[in-house]
Amino acid sequence: MGLKELLHSKAILQQEVETRRAELELALAPVLAQVEAAEKEIREFLSADLAAIRKLQEKEFGAVHITKDGYRITETIPKRVRWDQEKLFGVYRTILCAGDDPFVWMKAEFKVGEKEYNTYPAPIREVFAPARTVTPGEPKIEFKPIEEAANA
């Protein structure tokens, strides 16, 4: 079999893959919609309890735990931090003009480590704050039966 025949055979097989993939996606669509609806219902069922524990713990991001109906439920909301590069460059110039080394406080690519930022003295954080944007990531919820959670 020559190259032309091999390429033709491969093209036919790739078309078969695409056809079957489309068929599978059509067949799975209703089931995936049901899974999405169930996930939405679970989130609605738990939202008040999770919000209450977050408020009680004064915790906007990170993991919180509740126990409900025999499950230990952990909701984790990641923190997404974005730094405005233009504003950070202004902070860089301000620190430089004050006679300090800007690289004591910031990295060369104008990023500020979140752990480091949280340890800065308040007046320093105030200088950096206008360049910082924090948005929550997608919440993740895990369920463990209480017996399993106790052994973990």
Sign of CA dihedral 122, 58, 144, 43: negative
pTM score of the predicted model:
0.57
Q: How confident is the model at residue 149 (pLDDT cuts 50, 70, 90)?
A: low
Residue range 99-129, pLDDT digits in tens: 999 989 888 677 889 999 999 999 999 999 9
Mean pLDDT of the chain: 91
Residue range 70-90, pLDDT digits in tens: 999 999 999 989 888 889 999
Q: Residue 18 has what pLDDT?
A: 95
Residue 88, judged by CB atoms within 10 A of its CB (0-12, 13-18, 19+), counts as: buried
Q: How confident is the model at residue 22 (pLDDT cuts 50, 70, 90)?
A: very high
